[in-house]
Structure 1
Amino acid sequence: MKWHHVAENWPAFYEAIIDKWPAADEAELDEIDGDQRRFLRYIAEIEGMERDEAREDIREWLAGEIPSDVVMDEMHDGVSIRNSSKYVGEGEDEYDDDARFGDDDQDDD
């Protein structure tokens, strides 16, 4: 993901940030308000790291996927659906309605 995804949806990333850096505090994150430099300084401070170490830690975190509940637009949804195809069994279609999820062993009526 790119930093602009994080900055544009800052509060939606709180849970992911706290999962990665448990010492992070929501009130402090409110103050940072998506500012990348302030976030870098904050992570370095709470983790007891040098800024270069914190920068690398953040870079690794950004290399992950955008949490599905963060970006909710049709373009991103389509990409996510296509990417999910690697988890769909042979003969199934990733675009099928998943209302019947878990009933693969049942015959269609």
Structure 2
Amino acid sequence: MKWHHIEENWHAFYEAIQDRWDEAEEDALDEIDGDQHAFVAYIAEITGQSKTDAREEIRNWIMGELPADVVMDPSHDNHSIANSVKYIPEGEDEYDDDARFGDEG
């Protein structure tokens, strides 16, 4: 996962942030509003770590999974579908019927 995923979907990450850092408060997260530098400073502050250590801890956290709210976002789905074109035989549309996968009636 890249930081822009987090920044674009900041509110969807609140639960994941609070699961990882119990001390994180929603009001503070509202103020941070996806700013990476502010988030690093905040995590350093609430954990008593240096910014370098906080940045490393966040980097490790980012390696985890995207929250369901982000994964289920239609723009994320459309991006994934568009990227799947390299796996689809020439002449087929990546947005075509996917009934064989059980998604359609």
TM-score (norm 1): 0.68
Distance 1:63 1:23 in 2: 21
Distance 2:22 2:80 in 1: 29
Q: Quick one: structure 1 residues 77 and 67, their matched pair in 2 at CA, closer, same or farther if it must change by over 3 Å?
A: farther
Instruction: State the AA in 2 paired with 1:6.
Output: I
Report the CA distance between 1:70 and its aligned residue: 1.6
Distance 1:14 1:36 in 2: 14
SS at match of 1:69: helix
Instruction: State the AA in 1 paired with 2:102.
Output: D
Instruction: State the AA in 2 paired with 1:96.
Output: G
Instruction: State the AA in 2 paired with 1:75.
Output: N
Instruction: State the AA in 1 paired with 2:57.
Output: D
Distance 2:78 2:40 in 1: 30
CA root-mean-square deviation: 2.0
Deviating runs (4+, > 3 A) in structure 1? 75-78
Question: Gaps spanning 5+ residues in structure 1: where?
Answer: 79-94, 98-109
Report the CA distance between 1:65 and its aligned residue: 1.4
Matched, 1:14 2:20: no
Identity %, equivalent residues = 58
Match of 2:102? 96
1:1-109 equivalences in 2 (<5 Å): 1-71=1-71, 72-73=73-74, 74-75=77-78, 95-96=101-102
Distance 1:20 1:66 in 2: 13
Aligned length: 83
1:45-86 CA-to-partner distances (Å, cap 9, x unmatched) read 0011111110110000111111122231223676xxxxxxxx
Instruction: State the AA in 2 paired with 1:37.
Output: H
Distance 1:75 1:62 in 2: 22
